[in-house]
Chain A
Amino acid sequence: MNSLAPSLPRPARPRRARSRPALPLPGTARGAAFRQIVLNEARLAWRRPVALIAGVLLPVLLLVIFGELPAFHQALPQLGGLTLFDAYVPVLIVFSLAMLALLGLPIPLVSYRELGVLRRLSTTPVPPSWLLAAQGIIQLGAAMAALLVIFAAAVAAFGTPAPASPGGLVLSIAASIAGLFPIGLLIAALARTANGASVIGRLAFFPLMFFAGLWLPRAMMPALLQDISNYTPLGAAVQAIQDSILQGFPPAAPLLVLAGYAVVFGFLARRFFRWE
């Protein structure tokens, strides 16, 4: 790891090393460079924690509030005998994933393009795609932290049953991430300014969260809305996660819907993303 403090001895490199081609960074140095990028991205996320508050703190807070309301712990026939609280656990998980994917991921990327950071990086040995990868890691890390806290609180404090199919749950969450992050990347591709990305992200987030059941649990939706919900990314994510927790290995349909979003939006994001 490089340090600023001790003055590096001037490298005894030849003044005219024309014949020696510069090699790409060796593996360990590449790792060090990538760690530096991730470290600085983490600092930035921490110093302007809008995404962390909205994507991690807010769903955890909602979970605690719902958990404290007695009405949320009555089994309801409209929910097939589920409590409202149990119905909201997967919704809040998806809330966190969607917030980080649709707003947390694209806004910094677009602001880097706007500032010229991506352009500057593309003149260095480090490709600007590393910044995108670092952002993905940061958002993924935040999502994992939120998920762990939500699960731990739901199971330990509020009596949600342990997942019926842990493997199915992991798969469902992985599929949700794979389906949602490319949507965020497409937003990053289409928005010209960070403000624009924030507007598009919110315009996508709220209607999609409606179909995830944030205002009305999916089980209470009219049949038509439920059918639509099944084909929205957040609706499919809630369906797969809820089934994994309460019933067992999730059915193929929501996983395939999420895989479809991953492929289509992944392709579109790749097609339209611009580094400058």
Chain B
Amino acid sequence: MGAPVSVEIAHLRKTYGSLVAVDDVSFSVAEGEIFGLLGPNGAGKTTTAECAIGLRAPDAGTIRLLGLDPRADRAEVHEIVGVQLQASALPDRLRVGEILRMYESFYRQPADVSELIEVLGLAGKLRDFYRSLSGGQRQRLSIALALIGGPKIAVLDEMTAGLDPQARRDTWELIEGVRDRGVTIILVTHFMEEAERLCDRVALIDSGRVAALGTPAGLAAQARGGKSVRFLPSASFDDRLLTGRPEVTAVGHEGQHVVVTGTGELVNVVILTLASAGVTARDVQLDSSSLEDAFVKLTGRHLKDLDSEGATL
């Protein structure tokens, strides 16, 4: 956890009329981290991502991308943040090369385009019209456009939707390569395998809230069972305070309560760590089911989503 913070989202809230799409989402992402927003459809992942990139104005909460506010500092943010949106097409009668050249010209320091198209398997497609591309090729072009500006942060929404397994694995490798250059990546996905394979940490989003946050392995360990401490903090604190401890595998929120899962002398670790930050834990309970329940519930719904998607492909 030594890397500086790249993305910081605190108490984000976004409503559409009476519908609360995002209800108090907080997390922070370190530089060079691949961070997953995982959850069922309609959980608020996409809205969270759209607020993060400044496409939507949050009703409450703060968002910082490398210290910049996505709406107030929009010009600078657009230069350093690459975005791939869901369901975003391009004109049918433009060629791939024409599209790439145009988007490349938008940025001060574009990426190495020939390398990008090579890795994304678009090198032989430069003269093809957009309308003649397959769904997977369109998706890869969309990823190329998100990365063409040489971003420091990339936000990718359902990046591998519609890709065949081989293209999916190639894309994962590309994303790892991009991260190795220090790019922070936020991945919106409802695809468990993708999150496990790629993400350093995952926030499970359910009904507009962060149901759990931790490493994929940690979350999986929780699902198999583990110690869990539930308490009411005397003041709000940064989750990373606890996730930085080796005994802690994940930190989640249930209303005002915080749920910490992990191993070893978990209760002592939590209380001592919080005390060192001037926070006291009240109403402490040893609890071994709630987070696990949330996880099973989320994965269960996710697997159903995946099945229905598989049926339509």
Binding site for B on A (CB under 8 A): 1-11, 13, 15-18, 21-26, 29, 32-33, 35-37, 39-40, 43-44, 47-48, 111-112, 115-117, 119-120, 122-126
- Give A39 to B78 CA distance when docked, in angstroms: 23
Inter-subunit contact A123/B93 (CB<8 Å): no
B2 interfacial contact with A, CB 8 Å:
no
B237 interfacial contact with A, CB 8 Å:
no
Give chain A residues whose Cβ lies under 8 Å from the Cβ of B99.
40
Partner of A44, one of B55, B94, B109: B94
Partner of A119, one of B66, B85, B93, B105: B85
Give chain B residues whose Cβ lies under 8 Å from the Cβ of A26.
108
B309 interfacial contact with A, CB 8 Å:
no
Inter-subunit contact B94/A43 (CB<8 Å): yes
Q: Can you sample 11 A-B contacts with CB below 8 Å?
A: A1-B105, A2-B110, A11-B109, A24-B75, A25-B106, A33-B102, A40-B99, A44-B91, A115-B88, A116-B89, A120-B83
- Give A1 to B107 CA distance when docked, in angstroms: 12
Instruction: Look across to chain A and name the residue whose beta carbon is closest to the beta carbon of B118.
Output: A7
B224 interfacial contact with A, CB 8 Å:
no
Instruction: Look across to chain B and name the residue whose beta carbon is closest to the beta carbon of A111.
Output: B91
- Contact residues, B85-143 vs A (CB, 8 A): 85, 87-91, 93-94, 97-110, 112-115, 117, 126
Interface of A is mostly: loop
Inter-subunit contact A2/B93 (CB<8 Å): no
Inter-subunit contact B114/A112 (CB<8 Å): no
- Minimum CB–CB distance from A163 to chain B (whole Å) comes to 38
- Minimum CB–CB distance from B289 to chain A (whole Å) comes to 41
- Give A44 to B104 CA distance when docked, in angstroms: 19
Given contacts A116-B85, A123-B53, A123-B55, are A13 and B93 in contact (CB under 8 A)? no
Given contacts A13-B109, A33-B106, are A119 and B55 in contact (CB under 8 A)? yes
Instruction: Look across to chain B and name the residue whose beta carbon is closest to the beta carbon of A108.
Output: B91
Partner of A21, one of B76, B81, B112: B76
- Give A122 to B115 CA distance when docked, in angstroms: 25
B196 interfacial contact with A, CB 8 Å:
no
Inter-subunit contact A11/B88 (CB<8 Å): no
Inter-subunit contact A4/B101 (CB<8 Å): yes
- Contact residues, B47-93 vs A (CB, 8 A): 53-55, 66-68, 75-76, 78-81, 83, 85, 87-91, 93
Inter-subunit contact B4/A16 (CB<8 Å): yes
B31 interfacial contact with A, CB 8 Å:
yes
B216 interfacial contact with A, CB 8 Å:
no
Inter-subunit contact B113/A11 (CB<8 Å): no
Give chain A residues whose Cβ lies under 8 Å from the Cβ of B262.
none
Give chain A residues whose Cβ lies under 8 Å from the Cβ of B89.
115-117
Inter-subunit contact B114/A8 (CB<8 Å): yes
Given contacts A4-B114, A7-B112, are A120 and B100 in contact (CB under 8 A)? no
Inter-subunit contact A29/B108 (CB<8 Å): yes
- Minimum CB–CB distance from B205 to chain A (whole Å) comes to 21
Inter-subunit contact A8/B75 (CB<8 Å): no
Inter-subunit contact A40/B110 (CB<8 Å): no
Partner of A124, one of B76, B93, B112, B149: B149
Inter-subunit contact B75/A125 (CB<8 Å): yes
Inter-subunit contact B105/A48 (CB<8 Å): no
- Give A118 to B54 CA distance when docked, in angstroms: 14
- Give A36 to B105 CA distance when docked, in angstroms: 7
B36 interfacial contact with A, CB 8 Å:
no
Give chain A residues whose Cβ lies under 8 Å from the Cβ of B68.
21
Instruction: Look across to chain A and name the residue whose beta carbon is closest to the beta carbon of B91.
Output: A44
- Give A40 to B100 CA distance when docked, in angstroms: 11
Partner of B94, one of A6, A29, A40: A40
Instruction: Look across to chain B and name the residue whose beta carbon is closest to the beta carbon of A23.
Output: B108
Inter-subunit contact A125/B107 (CB<8 Å): yes
- Give A18 to B126 CA distance when docked, in angstroms: 34
Inter-subunit contact A123/B113 (CB<8 Å): no
B182 interfacial contact with A, CB 8 Å:
yes
- Give A15 to B93 CA distance when docked, in angstroms: 37
Inter-subunit contact A125/B94 (CB<8 Å): no
Inter-subunit contact A123/B83 (CB<8 Å): yes
Partner of B67, one of A11, A18, A119, A124: A18
- Give A22 to B110 CA distance when docked, in angstroms: 13
9 shortest A-B CB distances, which residue pairs? A116-B88, A22-B79, A123-B83, A115-B89, A47-B93, A36-B102, A15-B182, A7-B114, A36-B105
Inter-subunit contact A11/B91 (CB<8 Å): no
Instruction: Look across to chain A and name the residue whose beta carbon is closest to the beta carbon of B108.
Output: A25
- Minimum CB–CB distance from B137 to chain A (whole Å) comes to 16
- Give A60 to B82 CA distance when docked, in angstroms: 46
B150 interfacial contact with A, CB 8 Å:
yes
Inter-subunit contact B94/A8 (CB<8 Å): no
- Give A125 to B78 CA distance when docked, in angstroms: 5
- Give A237 to B76 CA distance when docked, in angstroms: 44
Give chain A residues whose Cβ lies under 8 Å from the Cβ of B91.
40, 44, 111-112, 115, 117
Give chain B residues whose Cβ lies under 8 Å from the Cβ of A8.
110, 112-114
B270 interfacial contact with A, CB 8 Å:
no
Give chain A residues whose Cβ lies under 8 Å from the Cβ of B117.
4
Instruction: Look across to chain B and name the residue whose beta carbon is closest to the beta carbon of A35.
Output: B105
